[in-house]
Amino acid sequence: MIETLKKMMKDCYGIEDLRGDANFKKDFGLSSFDFVNLVCMLEEDFNIEIDEKDYRALNTVDELIAYLEKKAACSQ
């Protein structure tokens, strides 16, 4: 999952260094629209649905990866 996220961040936003504690808005400068777009791409790629209330609480790379891993495990 981290490799997919790294590729998306590099391809879409030109961001190559994904530290686990990095904040999508503060450290990477992603707008709310950018983050929603990223969430949509992840939903499509991993065939999962991320609720709005959930993705609003995801701020760092580590939080997003942990959420995706949990969501993917539950969907199997």
pLDDT computed for residue 76 by the predictor: 63
Number of domains in the chain: 1
The CATH number linked to 60 is 1.10.1200.10
Against a cut of 0.85, is the pTM above it?
A: yes
Across the range 23-39, mean pLDDT stands at 96
Note the pLDDT tens digit of each residue in 56-65.
Answer: 999 999 999 9
Burial call 15-43: b when 16+ CB within 10 Å, e when fewer: beebeeebebeebbebeeeebeebbeebe
> By residue range, what is the domain housing residue 48?
2-74
- Split at pLDDT 50, 70, 90, the class of 73 is confident
